Amino acid sequence: MKKMFVYILQMLLFSVLFGSCEKNEGEKWETVTPEKEETEEAVSQPTQYGTPFENVPETPDVAMYEVNLRAFSQAGNLSGVTEKLDSLEKLGINVVWLMPIYPTGDEKSVGSPYAVKDYMDIHDDYGTLADLRELVEGAHQRDMAVILDWVANHTAWDHQWITENPSWYAQDDNGNIIIPTGTGWEDVAELNFNNNNMRAEMIRAMKYWVLEANVDGFRCDYAHGVPDDFWNQAIDTLRSIPNRDIIMFAESERKELLTQGFDMMFGWRFYTGLKETFSEGQSTAAIVEAHEEEYRGLSTGKHVLRWTSNHDQNAWETTPIDQFMNKDGAMAAFVITAYMDGVPLVYSGQEIGFPEQLSFFEGNANKIDWSINADYKVEYEKVLNFRQESSALRRGNLTNHNSTDVMAFEKTVNEESVFVLVNVRNKNVTYTVPELFQESVWQNAFAETSITLGNSIELAPFEYLILRK
């Protein structure tokens, strides 16, 4: 009963905190030139372990998987992930994102893994550096990159920096270290990015994992909570490491971060468009408008990560199956997410339609039952692996042909064309085929049969049709 009470308190607290983060999403941080400080004694630098991975995917080719370490395996550790690398490879994944692996604080703790106590160590629950190296090596052998979750804005209150270097933290007028501005996150202390020494140590810690564990980049939490010029400094440093391709992924909708070196950003707007269409009955125009808004003004090669679930949506809102009405609706929404530009994300257990919400806080994580819904996983494998073999889906030009109830679009590159039709309603829908497609012959990408398009197509509830020529 006590555990349940604590869990409810944590859920209520985080729902407030998560909302605070969204409210600050649109704020634009001013770049501050750090004041010069006296240089501290030289510190040791990390050294290269193993061989740098040579097959890090280019951004448009990424298919990412987010691992909730506590829930992913019965052991709830890094070795539990290593044991399932074959399954992730079969799914069509080529980038594995590990949620924070670091020791977490005890002081003022709510159990969040985003309250980091030591940037250069691994939580005892998850294993050792040797375990991480084994995971990374196993992933690389399967042509999968590995990225770590990085929390740059703040640390736990019992991080050693608090006592050893209090000037490394933001302070109020009375000299008291403060929580991140405008968030209500009482379990963490905000860092001071006007301090050169703190910046240098933060970057050294990031380099440590790239070199000592051979990881391939970072997903940067609350990236817009850190001055832009720090990211420019950090990313330039990481990408100056010889023989390295580094993935940098910002948890933010601020497009300016993409000019600081990030490869991709979060697509909250697209997810909202999906919910508006599937759950609220709005026209598919909501999805098209969200897509256009997210990609407007992006430089070539920069992309938006898109999902139907991630750790926040799953823990604090609901599962994809509930959000999109049922398993078929969740799959239909994922097809749009995976094929309509952007970089697709799969969250832990999503590929088997795991019906429970997953906590990621200490002491409360339920475990995924991997024995269920094997047929659903096969369907995910078909969807993702077809994306990986289709240049048109990953890199082609997009032309929308949507109707009110059917999300329809064509992706083309060179001689390849893919026509995607998705019924976004839980009822039969008739789609009027555009005149330019009438009487054209296509291959059904999943059924290996040909189809000649007529004037219209009848689609069953949440049915999707993937055509290729």
- Choice among 18-32, 57-71, 162-176, 444-458 with the minimum mean pLDDT: 18-32
Q: What distance in Å separates the CA atoms of residue 194 and residue 197, rounded to the nearest whole number?
A: 9
CB 249 within 8 A of CB 264: yes
Residue 271 near residue 237 (C-beta atoms within 8 A): no
**Does the pLDDT value for residue 6 go beyond 90?**
no
For the segment 338-396, what is each residue's pLDDT rounded down to a tens digit? Answer: 999 999 999 999 999 999 999 999 887 799 999 999 999 999 999 999 999 999 999 99
Same topology, domains 32-356+370-394 and 406-468? Answer is no
The pLDDT of residue 8 is above 80: no
Provide the pLDDT for residue 45: 83
The gap from C-alpha 195 to its chain's centroid, in whole angstroms, comes to 29
Report the amino acid identity of residue 152.
A
pLDDT of residue 18: 40
Range with the lowest mean pLDDT among 21-25, 143-147, 223-227, 297-301? 21-25
Q: What is the mean pLDDT of residues 326-331?
A: 99
Query: Tell me, what's the pLDDT at 363?
Result: 81
Residue type, 432: T
pLDDT confidence of 14, banded at 50, 70, 90?
very low
**Span 447-460, mean pLDDT?**
96
Tens digit of each residue's pLDDT (9 = 90 or more) over 169-189: 999 999 999 999 999 999 999
What confidence score (pLDDT) does residue 4 get?
A: 39
Query: What are the extents of the domains in the chain?
Result: 32-356+370-394, 406-468
pLDDT above 90 covers a percentage of the chain that reads: 89
CB atoms within 10 A of CB 22: 11
In the block, residue with structure tokens 């193993």:
50
Q: What is the pLDDT of residues 44-54, one digit of tens each?
A: 788 999 999 99
**In sequence order, which residues have a C-beta less than 8 Å from that of residue 15 and are 6 or more positions away?**
316
CA distance 95 to 56: 8
133 pLDDT exceeds 60?
yes
Tokens read off for 126: 């998850």
Orientation of helix 327-339 relative to helix 268-278, angle to 10°:
140
- pLDDT of amino acid 101: 99
| Residue 407: Cβ within 10 Å count | 29
pLDDT of amino acid 360: 94
**One-letter amino acid for residue 265 of the chain:** M
Q: How far is CA 464 from the centre of its chain?
A: 25
What was the pLDDT predicted at 42? 55
Q: Nearest CA to 72 among 376, 354, 373, 368?
A: 368
The overall average pLDDT reported for the chain is 92
Give the end-to-end CA distance of the chain in Å, rounded to a whole number. 59
- For residue range 223-246, what is the model confidence (pLDDT) as tens digits? 999 999 999 999 999 999 999 999
What's the rounded mean pLDDT across residues 296-313?
Answer: 96
Q: Topology of 32-356+370-394 in CATH? A: TIM Barrel (3.20.20)
Better-scored residue on pLDDT, 20 or 303: 303
Is residue 191 predicted with pLDDT exceeding 50?
yes
Predicted local confidence at residue 23, as pLDDT: 35
Fold of 406-468: Immunoglobulin-like (2.60.40)
pLDDT confidence band for 36 (50 / 70 / 90):
very low
